[in-house]
Amino acid sequence: MQVLVRKSNEKQDIQCAVCGQGFRLYFERTSLEEQASMRAEVARELAHQHATDQTAAAHPASPFTWPEWQGPAQFSGAALLGGLSTIRRAAPAELDLTGAIK
């Protein structure tokens, strides 16, 4: 199962044990048992991100997936199925023709 993790100062599902930064979690599946297991893995990953920096800056500014996803976050199963509506699919810059229309 994959989880999309996004920094949040408002509603928070988990906090980093090292710096206290809050995060929202968007799960690919709704099983409470799987979510509990993944929540523990995410907590370990958040602490691991502090290898050289003990501040909240150690965490990625943009949403990330755990386990890691090699493509853009908006195409991960967690983002697509997890309900994160603020991430939008975008066409590559070379396909953006909005400036070409007059």
pLDDT in tens, 42-66: 999 999 999 999 999 999 988 888 8
Phi-psi region of 55 (alpha: psi -120 to 50; beta: other; left: phi over 0): beta
Residue type, 39: R
Residue 79 falls inside a structural domain = yes
Residue 35 falls inside a structural domain = yes
73 confidence band (pLDDT: 50, 70, 90): low
Domain assignment of residue 45, given as a range: 3-86
Residue 97 falls inside a structural domain = no
**Who's near 52: CB < 8 A, 6+ residues apart?**
58
Residue 96 falls inside a structural domain = no
3-class state of residue 75 by DSSP: helix
Residue 99 falls inside a structural domain = no
The model's pTM is 0.69
Q: State the total domains in the chain.
A: 1
* CA nearest neighbour of 21 among 51, 47, 52: 47
